[in-house]
Amino acid sequence: MTHQERTSNIRKEINQVYKQLKRSYPIFNYQNTLGLIIFLLSICIIAVVSYCWYKGYINTWLMIVVNAFFMGVLHELEHDLIHWLYFKSNRVMHHFMLLSVWLLRPLTVNPWIRRTLHLHHHKYSGTLHDVEERSVTNGEKWTLKRLLTTADVVLGGLLRLGVMYKDMDKEVKAGRLKLDISNRLKKIMFLSIVPLTIVSHIILYLFFGNLLLDLLHKFFGTNLVFPAYLKDILVHLNFLIYTILLPNLVRQFSLHFITSNMHYFGDVEDGNVIEQTQVLTSWWTFPFQFFCFFFGWTHSIHHFVVNETFYVRHIGRKKAQNILKKYGVRFNDLGTFKRANRFHQTP
């Protein structure tokens, strides 16, 4: 079979799995209600756990783990919202949810701009102008730079912005990308991190910079310290840093590590969805999967069937994974780490 025929069969068979699941459990037809319940429940748990940490009832590490997990759930909700899966006919509620999940995950890019980048990703996954995936290090060799910028969409994005612009110009000249689309992507890529994402990252830079200088002073007797006014600002931001930013740093590193290595890049056949992703379930990835709601287990399914919620995708994943495997989608292709995410060969 051609890759188009295999893709068509995969979509038909997975959709049948979802239809059967909804016939067996009609509650899954109440999509808006379930999305709202998950949204409110996640926010309530984050709020309660954060309060308990502030009062000293639970340890810092436990608070960060719990908050990071539920922020991973909120990321899945945002992804569904980007595909208009909740409250499409109620724009006020839809945009309220979108704003809320962004404010609780402020290290991420503007979700309204991300919608454009993400839909472009679906259409051109694995190409030189798949800027959403390239922004999270996809396609790069594993170096210290890639490791340090995996979670950092500000510094990491700015460091690779020039290369991405040049590659988009090449794609325009080769006729593989329209000039107006290229210009629009270039404009919104930077706008997507203004101002919330940049400010949130700067706070973390100051936090870790202060921590490093304090450690150097304590163990090596250095005299380099932050000015008193900066230390005072960090003290006032302490609750935000620990309950929101640090859990999100854990979540974001985990998500970007998984997504940038389960998506292929650079030599994907045009329009071949089979070559765009793999299913990543290897045991050692579990800690990363936990903080991004097991993204590597289910995201490949989404590339074939985009109009289904994350929880239905997750519940029906085993049958869907068997269908993917039957038609040749790769599972646990760990060689991608050495091949800089190429599908076929080392770049």
Q: How confident is the model over 43-90, as pLDDT tens digits?
A: 999 999 999 999 999 999 999 999 999 999 999 999 999 999 999 999
Q: How confident is the model over 185-222, as pLDDT tens digits?
A: 999 999 999 999 999 999 999 999 999 999 999 999 99
Residue 4 — very low, low, confident or very high, per pLDDT cuts 50/70/90? very high
Residue 169 — very low, low, confident or very high, per pLDDT cuts 50/70/90? very high
Q: What is the pTM of this model?
A: 0.97
Which two three-digit tokens encode residue 278?
Answer: 């793999």
For residue 98, pLDDT over 70 is answered with yes
Runs of H (alpha helix) within the chain: 3-24, 31-54, 60-82, 91-103, 111-123, 131-134, 144-149, 155-173, 179-191, 196-220, 228-236, 238-240, 246-262, 286-290, 295-304, 310-315, 317-326
Please state the rounded mean pLDDT for residues 137-148: 95
For residue 16, pLDDT over 70 is answered with yes
Q: How many CB atoms lie within 10 A of CB 124?
A: 22
Q: How confident is the model over 266-304, as pLDDT tens digits?
A: 999 999 999 999 999 999 999 999 999 999 999 999 999
Residue 346 — very low, low, confident or very high, per pLDDT cuts 50/70/90? low
Residue 345 — very low, low, confident or very high, per pLDDT cuts 50/70/90? confident
According to the model, what pLDDT value does residue 123 have?
Answer: 96
According to the model, what pLDDT value does residue 280 have?
Answer: 98
Q: How confident is the model over 99-139, as pLDDT tens digits?
A: 999 999 999 999 999 999 999 999 999 999 999 999 999 99
For residue 160, pLDDT over 80 is answered with yes
Round the average pLDDT of the chain to a whole number and report it. Answer: 97
271: left (phi over 0), alpha (psi -120 to 50) or beta: left
CA–CA separation, 6 and 273 (whole Å)? 9
Q: Which of 169, 74, 177, 163 is nearest to 120 (CA)?
A: 177
Q: Which of 99, 39, 97, 93 is nearest to 70 (CA)?
A: 39
Q: Which of 225, 222, 221 is nearest to 234 (CA)?
A: 225
Please state the rounded mean pLDDT for residues 29-53: 98
Q: How many CB atoms lie within 10 A of CB 84?
A: 12
According to the model, what pLDDT value does residue 347 have?
Answer: 62
